[in-house]
């Protein structure tokens, strides 16, 4: 009996470990199911868009078409019809892409307008943010804190609040209906400055002091110490800035009077009801730049998120 009791006491910790492992496995399984469910919900519209872009116009019309009806006054009205969502085309068709890329140059023009507007904003906002953030992170004094607090206030303001001041300033400088009306507010946005400043402040001072002992000046401290460590954060900011301005709608509508200057984000909403298939194709093309940038910079994005105190965790 004593021997049996002794064995039971030895097995008790193992039983507890197995119980914890089973409990942990159940928790992980539930978390996976929960995360997978949300992923499916969020990805479903994207999958539907891509799948329907390879359908013919007739198939699109039969699945999503609207039925016209005449009111008592003689005007035409829409009667909503049951939508038939399909993820697999009856026959794969590239006619929508053929129309967008070869027969309708207006779509490519709007795509090019988006590139012209967004790329300079992304490049120069990040460049200015790197310089300003280094100054905020390294400088001492109360004035720095006051200016940075102003950046925080501006960042917390919804961009809709600043549209009217931006319009008035653009009108005063006679740059309305030009790309500068979009570029200038975007380039000097406080978002990247705030994010990179918080990041640079976490770089250990010992790294800068060691470089200074070796004779490095401020420019070398910036280019050889701060920038390599902040590479992940810089890529993260660039991705967020690009996606944010790639999807902008209100700014061009307010600051552009010439519809030929509209980016593709604005033009998407103006595709009429008879071109639903083209809308799917254009939307798919519209998603490609952001997706490619994300896939290329995914490693740096994760690095920027997991950075802890100058050491990757």
* Sequence spans of domains, the chain: 2-52, 100-312
Does 197 have pLDDT greater than 60? yes
Tell me the pLDDT band of 9, cut-offs 50, 70 and 90: low
Task: Work out the average pLDDT over 18-23.
Answer: 65
Report the range out of 30-39, 139-148, 240-249, 265-274 with the highest average pLDDT: 240-249
Does 241 have pLDDT greater than 90? yes
CB atoms within 10 A of CB 44: 12
Choice among 3-7, 131-135, 261-265, 294-298 with the minimum mean pLDDT: 3-7
Does 305 have pLDDT greater than 80? no
Percent of the chain past pLDDT 70, that is, above it, reads 81
Structure tokens at 279: 């809308």
CA distance 189 to 185: 6
Task: Work out the average pLDDT over 193-208.
Answer: 89
Task: Work out the average pLDDT over 144-150.
Answer: 85
CA distance 200 to 229: 9
Which is higher by pLDDT, 301 or 225? 225
The pLDDT of residue 5 is 47
Query: Of 275, 261, 312, nearest to 114 (Cα)?
Result: 261
The pLDDT of residue 127 is 96
Per-residue exposure over 86-97, b if at least 16 CB sit within 10 Å of its own CB, e if not: beeeeeebebbb
Q: Class for domain 100-312, per CATH?
A: mainly alpha
Query: Of 249, 236, 252, 241, nearest to 155 (Cα)?
Result: 241
Question: What is the pTM assigned to this prediction?
Answer: 0.79
Does 23 have pLDDT greater than 60? yes
């Amino acid at each position: 009996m004593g021997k049996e009791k002794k064995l039971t006491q030895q097995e008790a910790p193992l039983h507890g470990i197995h119980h914890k492992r089973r409990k942990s496995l159940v928790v992980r399984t539930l978390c996976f199911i929960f995360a997978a469910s949300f992923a499916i919900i969020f990805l479903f519209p994207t999958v539907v868009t891509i799948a329907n872009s390879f359908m013919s116009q007739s198939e699109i019309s039969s699945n999503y078409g609207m039925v016209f009806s005449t009111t008592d006054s003689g005007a035409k009205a829409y009667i909503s019809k049951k939508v038939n969502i399909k993820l697999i085309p009856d026959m794969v068709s590239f006619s929508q892409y053929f129309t967008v890329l070869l027969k309708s140059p207006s779509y490519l023009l709007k795509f090019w307008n988006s590139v012209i507007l967004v790329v300079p904003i992304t490049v120069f906002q990040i460049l200015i943010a790197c310089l300003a953030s280094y100054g905020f992170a390294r400088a001492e004094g109360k004035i720095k804190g006051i200016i940075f607090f102003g950046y925080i206030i501006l960042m917390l303001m919804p961009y809709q609040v600043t549209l009217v001041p931006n319009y008035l300033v653009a009108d005063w400088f006679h740059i309305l209906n030009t790309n500068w009306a979009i570029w200038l507010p975007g380039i000097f946005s406080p978002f990247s400055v705030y994010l990179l400043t918080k990041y640079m402040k976490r770089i250990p001072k010992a790294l800068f002091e060691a470089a200074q002992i070796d004779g490095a000046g401020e420019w070398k401290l910036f280019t050889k110490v701060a920038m390599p460590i902040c590479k992940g954060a810089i890529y993260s900011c660039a991705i967020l800035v690009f996606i944010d301005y790639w999807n902008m709608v209100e700014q061009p509508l307010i600051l552009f009077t010439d519809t030929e200057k509209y980016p593709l984000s604005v033009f998407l909403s103006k595709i009429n009801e008879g071109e639903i298939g083209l809308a799917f194709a254009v939307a798919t093309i519209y998603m490609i730049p952001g997706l490619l940038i994300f896939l290329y910079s995914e490693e740096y994005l994760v690095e920027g998120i997991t950075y802890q105190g100058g050491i990757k965790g």
